[in-house]
Amino acid sequence: MRILITEDQLKQGIARLAEEIRKRCAGQPLTVVGVLMGSVVLLADLIRLLDMPLRVELVQARTNPDGTRPGPLVLNLDLLSTDIQGRNVLLVDDIFDTGNTLWELIPQLDELGPAHVRTAVLLRKQGRAQVALQPDFVAFDIPDEFVVGYGLDYRDRYRNLPYLAALEPHEMAEEQR
């Protein structure tokens, strides 16, 4: 495992992310919608840096259990507990990889009639996008490696690391045995 972004760098990156969001969404009530599970750590840190009146909501997106290979995407919006109709929504996810998660989530949220949906991610992997969409706010661009920590898991492990690390291919292969 190799540290890619230290705890201090994460903190600075999220402060910059929050500042951009504050500028673009100043003074407007916001519904921040975190995408489970990967966004929970970012969500907790980010909302404490935002000062507009806001609600926090969750939706769930899952692919295959270890998240290392593509699989059918299962979305669950049933966790939304307040009406987002007419609200400014900020959808928060851990990482923008192929972009398919946000690509499929946004139209489903749009059906609920928000004033508008913006997207914020901690990470964007370079050269991986498969959709005609980019997140509105990105804290860090990273190379095409499998990363863990700060909410991101490999087979339900490592979400609690306070830094972001790249797993070496052999580390994943070993665990799969």
Residue 88's Cα: distance from chain center in Å?
A: 17
Instruction: Rule CB under 5 A: say whether 38 interacts with Mg ion.
Output: yes
The tokens describing 171, both together, are 């580390």
Instruction: Rule CB under 6 A: say whether 165 interacts with ligand 5GP.
Output: no
Applying CB under 5 A, the site for Mg ion has a residue count of: 1
Pick 89 or 91: Cβ nearer Mg ion: 91
The tokens describing 51, both together, are 């000062």
The tokens describing 14, both together, are 């999220």
Residue-level length of the chain: 177
Pick 52 or 73: Cβ nearer Mg ion: 73
Instruction: Rule CB under 5 A: say whether 135 interacts with Mg ion.
Output: no
Least distance in Å: CB of 97 to ligand 5GP?
A: 3
Pick 114 or 151: Cβ nearer ligand 5GP: 151
Pick 111 or 144: Cβ nearer ligand 5GP: 144
Instruction: Rule CB under 6 A: say whether 93 interacts with ligand 5GP.
Output: yes
Least distance in Å: CB of 67 to Mg ion?
A: 7
The item of ligand 5GP, Mg ion, none sharing an interface with residue 146, based on CB under 5 to 8 Å by kind, is ligand 5GP
The tokens describing 107, both together, are 């139209």
Long-range contacts of 75-83, Cβ-Cβ distance < 8 Å, separation of 24 or more: 75/104, 75/105, 75/108, 77/108, 77/109, 77/112, 79/36, 80/33, 80/112, 81/57, 82/31, 82/55, 82/57, 83/112
Strand intervals (E) in 20-115: 30-36, 54-62, 74-76, 88-96
The item of ligand 5GP, Mg ion, none sharing an interface with residue 153, based on CB under 5 to 8 Å by kind, is ligand 5GP
Q: Could you tell me which stretch among 12-20, 22-30, 49-57, 94-102 binds ligand 5GP (CB under 6 A)? A: 94-102
Number of Cβ atoms within 10 Å of the Cβ of 177: 4
> Which residues between 36 and 55 bind ligand 5GP (CB under 6 A)?
38
The position carrying tokens 């003074």 is 27
The item of ligand 5GP, Mg ion, none sharing an interface with residue 114, based on CB under 5 to 8 Å by kind, is none
